[in-house]
Amino acid sequence: MSEIRTVAVIGAGTMGHGIAQVCAVAGCDVLLQDVSEEALERGLAGVRASLERLVAKERLSKEDADAAVGRIEAVTSVAEAAQDADLVVEAVPEKIALKLELFAELAERTPEGAILATNTSSLSVTEIAAATDRPERCVGLHFFNPVPIMPLLEIIRGLRTDEATVETVLAFGRRLGKEPIVVNDWPGFATSRLGIILGCEAIRMVEQGVASPEAIDKAMELGYRHPMGPLRLTDLVGLDVRLHIMEHLHRELGEQFRPPALLRQMVRAGKLGRKSGEGFYRY
């Protein structure tokens, strides 16, 4: 495929609407899909708020921001989103059954040459690709939160992904203004494997009474120059999201990823981080 013009983004949550935004700013026509009008409205509100921040900081002109919003069409049907897509980026919850079902449907609904990408942060790209008729054109495109700001794009090469697909998404990532890295498919890839282990240990340290969340975060922010400590970051990403990733990595890679009991308790109590108003901190 020579150029990606039309992108379908499946899922309008934090990651999905951020991905839709950067694709639209880069000049693509974007179809943003979610199951309900409310979810789409929340997603579009997120795009507008983020673009306003970029305009206020003079990182983007008002005209370019308005044009980007105009390039995003919100739809509730996967078939409608996928029918003319050159690239689909899936950003639905981290549940393998959901992703397998979706990729099987995408294989039927998209044009033959379309690339199918997953924004999974740890699940097997190879397994997701195997649900389709074109595993060679399936790839991982892992974005980071907040998507418009974070420079990294982690490209994951599944066992059957072909080099032409990797080359196409590399060029696409650069067009979005991202710095891509290419990694082979292995649980947690390069980023989540390292990021999660730090978050996991930080939660265990709270559990063991080593120090307060504030002190642990400050240790990494001031001692290691992390922009945000591991507990504040867990609140940003969502405690439920991190728990799902840990459960998967625990199954795949072993004991070091066993989710701390404190994390399970907090998720059960509805303390999911920023999105619920409380996690390790109150918002």
Interface pick for ligand CAA out of 2, 57, 112, 133 (rule CB under 6 A): 57
Nearest residue to 204 (alpha-carbon basis) of 153, 264, 160, 251: 264
Size of the site for ligand CAA (CB under 6 A): 18
Nearer to ligand CAA by Cβ, of 82 and 140: the residue is: 140
Residue at shortest CB range from ligand CAA: 121
Kindly state the helix (H) or strand (E) to which residue 161 belongs, with its residue range: none
Site for ligand CAA in 58-117 (CB under 6 A): none
Interface pick for ligand CAA out of 29, 145, 162, 278 (rule CB under 6 A): 145
Site for ligand CAA in 224-283 (CB under 6 A): 227-228, 233, 237, 241
- Give DSSP secondary structure letters for 91-153: ---S-HHHHHHHHHHHHHHS-TT-EEEE--SSS-HHHHHTTSS-GGGEEEEE--SSTTT--EE
**Minimum CB distance to ligand CAA, residue 233 (Å):** 5
Residue whose tokens read 């990182």:
59
Binding of ligand CAA at residue 189 (CB under 6 A)? no
Binding of ligand CAA at residue 149 (CB under 6 A)? yes
Under 8 Å between Cβ of 228 and 198: no
Nearer to ligand CAA by Cβ, of 52 and 108: the residue is: 52
Angle, nearest 10°, between helix axes 62-70 and 37-56? Answer: 160
Angle, nearest 10°, between helix axes 14-25 and 37-56? Answer: 50
Residues that bind ligand CAA (CB under 6 A): 50, 53-54, 57, 121, 144-146, 148-150, 192, 195, 227-228, 233, 237, 241
